[in-house]
Amino acid sequence: MNIYIGNLNYHVKESDLKQALEDFGTVDSVKIIVDHETGRSKGFAFVEMPNDDEAVKVLKDLNGAEFEGRALVIKEARRRD
């Protein structure tokens, strides 16, 4: 399942986010979206987890939870049409 994680602290690194999510299961990839001009984080990321049950647990347990001083917004990512 592909997960959207928003409201990230701009200083969070992909490795930090991956480590936090691995408590819930296997994480295939973490991609923090950055501004192409400045290289600065845009404050959101996409995470790929192969096990849907583990991903659903992340959605339920971490949506609204505090991480690095900010309340996370976590949803199932949808493809843009």
How do residues 3-38 score in pLDDT, each as one tens digit?
Answer: 999 999 999 999 999 999 999 999 999 999 999 999
Q: What is the mean pLDDT of residues 43-60?
A: 97
Percent pLDDT > 70 in the chain is 99
Strand pairing report for 2-6 and 66-67: unpaired
Q: Which residues, 6 or more positions from 36, have their beta carbon under 8 angstroms from its beta carbon?
A: none
The number of distinct structural domains making up the chain is 1
H or E stretch at 21: helix 14-21
**Is residue 64 situated within a structural domain?**
yes
Domain residues for the domain of 6 are 2-76
Any idea what the CATH number is for the domain that residue 58 is in? 3.30.70.330
pTM: 0.92
Query: Which among 36, 32, 37 is positioned nearest to 6, based on CA atoms?
Result: 32
pLDDT value at residue 73: 98
